[in-house]
Amino acid sequence: MRRVPWWGVVSSLAAPVLLIGGWTLAAAIQPVPFDAVVRTISDLAALTTPDRWVMTTALVGVGLSHIVTACALAPAAVAGRLVLGAGGLTTLGVAAFPLPAGGGSSSAHTAAAAVAFVSLAVWPAFARVRRRRPEQIVAAVLEPRVAAAATCALLLAVGWFFTELLAGGDKVGLAERVAAGTQALWPLVVVLSLRKTQQT
């Protein structure tokens, strides 16, 4: 099994740190109280939001981190790495196309966010590796059953967010943070598991 380089650990750790740290700091420095249960992450990077550069910078860092992690995941299937990289690339798109002034919507932002959420939810299923020989070593996180379970869990989180968003629910922000947070953490789980398998 090919090795995951040390910089893959750095990039996979950077994604959740930047995302969670970004939305926490950006909300804390708002001049008026920011309700993270109701309001979305994108609201913190909207054109009229004070200090929007904090969340925008965090989103750029998260996107780049996913792309670097995709490059580092040599033991995973190429298709999964490409989908993870696409999730990172479209996260950059979320930062590049912020919500407009006045609380309106943006088709470019919505499209980028939707593709990012779906890509970051389904990449584990595409990254799975099947044993071709009995002696082949495959990390548990890349085995088909585990990869499928991870994708199902991530899709459920995304489904909750989309349901809240479309229904105009009062927990849109919370649902988005659960979905985005778990998506940011899973690549780290995969990288650490692969590193541990390689050391045994």
pLDDT at 102 exceeding the cut of 70: no
pTM: 0.93
Residue by residue, DSSP assigns the chain as -PPPPHHHHHHHHHHHHHHHHHHHHHHHT-SS---TTTS-TGGGGSTTSTTTHHHHHHHHHHHHHHHHHHHH-TTS-HHHHHHHHHHHHHHHHHHHSPPPGGG---HHHHHHHHHHHHHHHHHHHHH----SSTT----GGGSHHHHHHHHHHHHHHHHHHHHHHHHT-TTHHHHHHHHHHHHHHHHHHHHHHHHHHHH-
Tens of pLDDT, residue by residue over 110-153, are 999 999 999 999 999 999 987 665 545 567 889 999 999 999 99
Reported confidence tier of residue 197, pLDDT bands at 50, 70, 90:
confident
Tens of pLDDT, residue by residue over 40-92, are 999 999 999 999 999 999 999 999 999 999 999 999 999 999 999 999 999 99
